Structure 1
Amino acid sequence: MSTHKKHLTRRRLLAASAVGAAGTGAAVVAGTGLLSSASAATFGYTDDGSNYVIDTGASLVFKVSKSTGDLTSLVYKGKEYEGYGGKHSHVESGLGASTVSIKQSGATVLVSVAHGTLKHYYAARSGQNNVYLWTNKADTSFTATRYIARIKAGIFPNEGPDSWVEAADTIIEAGDVWKKSNGQTRSKHYSGLRVMDYDHVGYTTGSVGLWMIRSNHEKASGGPFYRSLLRHSNDGGVGLYEILHYNQSQTEDMRFGLQGPYVLGFTDGGTPASSLFARNLDTSWVDGLGISGWVGKAGRGKVAGVGLKGMDADHPYTVGFANADAQYWAKAASGTGAFTCPGMLPGTYTLTVFKGELAVHTREVKVTAGGSTALNSITISDDPSTANTVFRLGDWDGTPGEFKNAKLMTYAHPSDVRATKWTGNVTIGGGDEAASFPAYIWKDVNDGILVYFKLTAAQAAAAHTLRVGVTTALINGRPRVTVNDWVSAIPTAPKQPATRSLTTGSYRGNNHTFTYNVPATAWKSDTSQYNVLKLNIVSGSTGSGYLSPGTSIDCIDLLA
């Protein structure tokens, strides 16, 4: 058994991926690989010498390599779906030599894979067209955590923001962002989805659907708003992913321990049954299987909150829970803010109330096994929107969502033909200010954006605090401001992810507010004249174009 330390490069980790919501489409050209011998028969398993062959007793037969733990075959209704480019489906980029064993316990077959300190599991349930998977990662022997299901090309529709044609499209960035002849961009990064936005991703022909149904991500990193690779398709094949830690736009340290189950499942064209979703899944059948690190329902607790006080009706609220070992979240009910978060591992968590994606309140909460922690109404204590302002551009919600091109940027490159020009000075009071202001500012692209505003005589006679909120930054890009003839000091760079972000579908980093104390002498004394605020991006690092220092804007306001 190999126990070598295997560090994945970003290229190895990302090879063959992309993302998007569950796609639909008409039937496409049928794939190859019809296997007459693979018709569903009796539930159980056999050994063909190289693989364990598991028959679900429904319409699915799959194989797991006895030497590597790779998933080497997925035959549904007689058709082979698995594999492309000479590669199979596996943890990371393949574990290599591993110890693989199998056992049947009543209506369940379990395959166990051990490679060094990492353990991985596959399970089949009698009569179901699903493969249940778990991954237990104990340490940093691997630098990321993912499972990729590799599916043959030509079976499912090659469409969506995470699809491209290598034979026809042009690479425009880092080998993984493509531009089509019509000027639209595609990438495996362009899901447009946060973790909390989806239960499953996959493809359908209309008559066959193949889906990756995500786990609860309790051992993942990045929280409810994290964006990562979910799926991809091109002329070489299709990838479906469960990614728990990914070294791009990552804001948290890696968590360790057992994650799952996540489910690779077939349907007759429709979306998966909601009973397979992580929040609904009955896992009582797992309790006796002996999976390393498994904690059943009896070993978990929950938190229930009466509600939130001080909510803004224009924004959704999420309550997150996190510590070094686990993460969870729950949507707060509209109006009351009531929330419930079940199925939590015991421990002490930081509870964070998010307005949109902006943390506006934190406290600690303790969870006990078999217990229910009840919380009285929580009064939101740290919403920057409650401050009185002279003007406000956008809103404090932890996202650039109100600004120009923001929504497009979760599933396209900034150079995409659909993007409106990134330049755009605005005048406060001119109407549609936020919609005219760019969501992102780069040193090489649209540096020096201007905001025009007027002050009353009383306002011009006083000093004011200017706030600029950002959601992430590329290579330490941060705003230095000029107000008329007054120039601010260069602000200290906050901690942000060190990888690409603004060009790979993610504005999510660490929300940060820069404050600038603007003296009364900076303002125009003539109230009929406009004051001019200029934002310049500064950084000690260099880059070019859309990979030059940059930042994503959450909100800009001038306090009264």
Structure 2
Amino acid sequence: MSASESSSVGRRTFVLGAAAAAGSAALAGPLAPAASAAGFGWSDDGSHYVVDTGANLVFKVSKTNGDLTSLVYKGTEYQGYGGKNSHVESGLGTSTVTIAQSGSTILISVAYGTLKHYYAARSGENNVYLWTNKADTSVSATRYIVRVKAGLFLNDEPDSYTYTTSTIEASDVFAKSDGQTRSKHYSKLRVIDYDYIGWTTGSVGLWIVRSNHEKASGGPFYRSLLRHQSADGGGLYEILYYGENQTEDQRFGLQGPYVIAFTDGGAPSSSLYPANLTTSWADSLGISGYVGAGGRGRVAGVGIAGRNTAYPYTVGLANSGAQYWGTARSSDGYFSVGGVLPGAYTLTVYKGELAVYSTQVTVSAGSTTTLNTITISSSNDPSNASAIWRIGDWNGTPSGFKNADLMTYAHPSDIRAASWTGNVVIGSGSETSAFPAYLWKDVNSGLLVYFKLTAAQAAAAHTLRIGVTTAYANGRPQITVNDTWTSAIPSPPTQPSTRSLTVGSYRGNNYTFTYSIPASAWLTDTSQYNVLKINVVSGSGTTGYLSAGTAVDAIDLLA
């Protein structure tokens, strides 16, 4: 699904992504062993259930609260730092914890009020399968965190703060002495971009393979923290619901399985990836909210017409109870989204991350809902409008703008960022790369765009459009043309209320501001530059990079 990313510090490396090269290193064990491995089974030491997978993995679960208290692979303990265990959220408290074996599967069940959590082991595998069923808001369960001892895996990547303690924002964004920034928020990746996260030393790999996120929120392009490293140790996350820069309400129900997987240094087996994983062995285990393959359906489309083939297209399904997505084939737009719970869904087609088509579909268990060719009308893609000039392109992201790529893994103050100020000249050839991805009231408000018009163009009124992808503290653009005409202050669109631009996320709600500029605002001398000033306005926010701001998708002046 995406290329891997890798880096090294000394001899230790980490790998993060969907299809990391494993070389000749061994992958995780098979999902359906022919027979139980020697040593497979469980015991009770009085305080914990102890599970031996019969491979190289032994783990313990507290009988008191369901914490994962030990994770021993090939004789080395990996679990825990700072006196903390691996668990749902920050620990559940006193729970009812039970264990049962069914053939080659051992299931530990944890009940805490309305929340149910499960650990499963399969004979001969170095994997732990986890499910979490959050039924309502009575329990604050938004994540599972695997806490890993310090020193076993080291890195100095964007989501690490091993080598710095200087805080520059809140208590979770740090600056190194060389000016680079680090934070657990800086994962770079959207959900659609990765299948697993973790680290490898070259001889041992520890990973979380994500679930299909059907009960998560935010859609395929959502970003949240995935892991962290500090002097205390490391953390790997499966985010069940993350409220930062969130565009959807929380969903409830069973999420999983997600998998803690050990390998001999390589990537986890692709058979564990959410698009490939089959769990018929779990059908009869009695997991609350579990729906097997036979109780699910599929949506398939013959193709998508009217695409701009320079961009990937994604098809998403969503309702209040579940979300799914799939990639449209580049040649013809064919798509297939499987494993869908029965129900009525909104189907949305995205060009890049910009919604350009929507319809309703109904999914039934055991069947495929087939759609004829979907046609994206020219009016649904704003790129099709004739423009006198355009900065960027309409794809739902700030891609191509100054500092856009860096902002998914660094703070705006990072030394690697180009200056956020500076004006733009239409016709220079660098319009997009010179225009900042983000605009803030306290940083670069008042940015100027210079452009010329022909006599015919200057004789007519025109519409200016500014597309944004999110906003912080109700930041929105107000424009002035040639210091003679100023637009009204637009109303703020609905956007997340939390931090976004400073924690690696531009993904909010795409919105287009339109401004009707009268002919009287233009200069009549065609040799002179017209000047567009873009200010960020808001009554909210604080100062600097936490002042009101917005992320830009595209700007154009229509013909």
> Alignment partner for residue 276 of structure 2, among 275, 280, 283?
280
CA distance in structure 1 between the partners assigned to 2:94 and 2:215 by the alignment: 25
The yes-or-no answer on 1:84 pairing with 2:74 is no
Give yes or no for contact 1:328–1:341 (8 Å, CA) kept in 2. yes
1:103 counterpart residue number = 100
Contact preservation (8 Å) 2:144, 2:238: yes
1:298 aligned to 2:297? Answer: no
Once residues 305 and 370 of structure 2 are traced to their aligned partners in structure 1, the CA distance between those partners, rounded to angstroms, is 16
Asked if the contact 2:203–2:264 (Cα under 8 Å) also holds between the matched residues in 1, the reply is yes
Q: Does 1:461 align with 2:424?
A: no
Mapped contact 2:226–2:237 kept (Cα < 8 A): yes
**AA partner of residue 325 (structure 1):** G
Q: 8 Å contact 1:184–1:418 — kept in the other structure?
A: yes
Pairing 1:441-456 to 2, within 5 Å after superposition: 441-456=439-454
State the alpha-carbon separation in 1 of the partners of residues 420 and 540 from structure 2. Answer: 22
Partner SS state of residue 500, structure 1: coil
What's the CA shift for 1:24? 5.7
Look up the match of 2:421: 423
> What corresponds to 2:329 in structure 1?
333
What code does the residue aligned with 2:531 have?
V
Cα offsets for 1:295-315 (capped at 9, x unmatched): 000000001101111111211
Say which SS state the counterpart of residue 161 (structure 2) adopts: coil
Which residue type is aligned with residue 93 of structure 2?
G
Partner of 2:66: 69
Residues 139 and 22 of structure 1, relative CA distance in 2, 3 Å threshold: farther
Deviates more, 1:156-165 or 1:301-310: 156-165
* 2:182 aligned with 1:186: yes
In the alignment, residue 552 of structure 1 is paired with which amino acid?
A
C-alpha contact (below 8 Å) 2:472/2:541 kept by paired residues: no
Q: Distance in 1 between matches of 2:557 and 2:137?
A: 45
Q: Percent identity?
A: 70
Question: 1:386 is matched with which residue: 384, 387, 391?
Answer: 384
Q: Secondary structure at the match of 1:264?
A: strand
- Segments of structure 1 that go 5 or more residues without pairing to the other structure are 1-19, 30-39
* Equivalent residue letter for 2:344: T
What residue number does 1:12 align with? none
Residue pairs, 1:162-241, within 5 angstroms = 162-165=159-162, 168-241=164-237
Pairwise CA RMSD: 1.3
Q: Does 1:308 align with 2:307?
A: no
Q: Secondary structure at the match of 1:447?
A: coil
Superposed, which structure 2 residues align to 1:313-328 within 5 Å? Answer: 313-328=309-324
What is the distance in 1 between the residues matched to 2:5 and 2:79? Answer: 21
CA contact (8 A) 1:26 1:206 kept: no
Letter in 2 for 1:216: N
Instruction: Please give the secondary structure, in 2, of the residue aligned with 1:245.
Output: coil
Q: CA–CA distance in 2 between the matches of 1:22 and 1:194?
A: 17
Q: Is the 8 A contact 1:169 1:181 kept in 2?
A: no
Residue 521 of structure 1 aligns to a residue whose secondary structure is helix
What is the deviation of 1:104?
0.2
Q: Which residue of 2 aligns with 1:510?
A: 509
What count of residue pairs does the alignment treat as equivalent? 530
CA deviations over 1:19-38 (Å, ceiling 9, x no partner): x9566665459xxxxxxxxx
Query: What secondary structure, in the 3-state scheme, does the structure 2 residue paired with 1:216 have?
Result: coil
Task: Give the Å deviation of 1:142.
Answer: 3.1
**Residue of structure 2 equivalent to 1:256:** 252
Give the alignment of 1:492-511 within 5 angstroms.
Answer: 492-511=491-510
- Deviation of 1:159 after TM superposition, in Å, equals 2.2
Q: Does 1:160 align with 2:157?
A: yes
Is the Cα–Cα contact under 8 Å of residues 305 and 376 in structure 1 kept in the other structure? yes
Instruction: Measure, in 2, the Cα distance between the counterparts of 1:290 and 1:366.
Output: 27
Q: Does 1:434 align with 2:432?
A: yes
Change (3 A) 1:264 1:383: same
Give the Cα–Cα distance (whole angstroms) in 1 for the partners of residues 474 and 382 of structure 2.
24
- CA contact under 8 A between 1:302 and 1:372: conserved in structure 2? yes
1:375 to 371, 374, 379: 371
Does the CA contact (< 8 Å) of 1:25 and 1:206 recur in 2?
A: no
Q: In the aligned structure 2, how far is the partner of 1:91 from the partner of 1:475?
A: 31
CA distance in 1, matches of 2:291, 2:343: 13
Partner of 2:548: 549
- Take 2:200 and 2:458, find their aligned partners in 1: how far apart are those partners? 61
SS at 1:282 equivalent:
coil
Task: Give the one of 111, 115, 130 matched to 2:112.
Answer: 115
Runs of 4+ aligned residues of structure 1 deviating over 2 Å after TM superposition are 20-29
Give the 3 Å change call, closer, same or farther, for CA 155–256 of structure 1 in structure 2: same
Residues 329-351 of structure 1: CA deviation (Å, up to 9, x unaligned)? 00011121110001100011100
Aligned to 1:54: 51
Encode CA deviations 1:342-366: one digit per residue, 9 max, x unaligned: 1100011100000000000100011
1:472 is matched with: 470
The answer for the alignment partner of 1:535 in structure 2 is 534
> Residues 21 and 201 of structure 1 are in contact (CA less than 8 Å); yes or no, is this contact kept in structure 2?
no
Query: Normalised by the size of structure 1, how large is the TM-score?
Result: 0.93
User: For the residues of structure 1 that align with 2:191 and 2:541, how far apart are their CA atoms?
Assistant: 32
1:246 pairs with 2:242: yes
Contact map agreement 2:151 2:233 (CA 8 A) in 1: yes
CA deviation after TM superposition for structure 1 residue 540, in Å: 1.6
Provide Cα deviations, 1:76-118, integer angstroms capped at 9, x if missing partner: 0000000001100000110011000000000000000000100
- C-alpha separation in 2, matches of 1:218 and 1:514: 32
**1:15-34 superposed matches below 5 A:** 27-28=11-12
Alignment check: 8 A CA contact 2:8 2:155 kept? no
- Which whole-Å CA distance do the structure 2 matches of 1:520 and 1:144 have between them? 56
Aligned position for 2:348? 352
Cα distance in 2, alignment partners of residues 511 and 492 from structure 1: 15
Kept in 2: contact 1:21–1:191 (CA 8 A): no
Q: Give the direction of change, closer, same or farther, for the CA distance of 1:268–1:151 in structure 2 (3 Å limit).
A: same
Shift of 1:384: 0.5
Question: Could you say which residue in structure 1 is the equivalent of 2:522?
Answer: 523
Verify the 8 A CA contact 2:12 2:155 in the aligned structure 1.
no
1:379-420 deviations in Å (ceiling 9; x for gaps)? 113111111111110000000011000000000000001000
Which of 403, 406, 415 is residue 405 of structure 1 equivalent to? 403
Structure 2 counterpart SS, 1:161 = coil
When residues 56 and 23 of structure 1 are mapped into structure 2, their CA distance, relative to the original with a 3 A threshold, is farther
SS at match of 2:407: helix
| Deviation (angstroms), 1:143 | 4.2
SS in 1 for 2:240: strand
Could you tell me which amino acid in structure 2 is paired with residue 513 of structure 1?
T
> Given that residues 196 and 209 in structure 2 are in contact (C-alpha distance below 8 angstroms), is that contact kept between their aligned partners in structure 1?
yes
Q: Contact conserved, 1:22 with 1:201, CA < 8 A, in 2? A: no
Q: Which amino acid aligns with 2:255?
A: Q
Query: What is the DSSP-based 3-state SS (H/G/I as helix, E as strand, rest coil) of the residue aligned with 1:352?
Result: strand
Q: One-letter code of the match for 1:298?
A: G
Task: Measure how far apart 1:158 and its partner are.
Answer: 2.5
Alignment partners' CA distance in 2, 1:377 and 1:440: 37
Provide closer, same or farther for how the CA distance between residues 179 and 458 of structure 1 changes in structure 2, counting only shifts above 3 A. same
Distance in 1 between the 2:403 and 2:140 partners? 33
1:135 matched to 2:158? The reply is: no
Using structure 2 for the length normalisation, give the TM-score: 0.93
Deviation at 1:165, TM superposition (A): 2.7
- Unaligned 5+ runs, structure 2: 14-36
Partner-residue secondary structure (3-state), 1:298: helix
Once the two structures are TM-superposed, the CA of residue 144 in structure 1 deviates from its matched residue by 4.8
Which residue identity is paired with 1:474?
Answer: Y
For residues 302 and 540 of structure 1, what CA distance do their matches in structure 2 show?
47
Whether the aligned pair in 2 keeps the contact of 1:425 and 1:437 (CA below 8 Å) is yes
SS in 2 for 1:363: strand
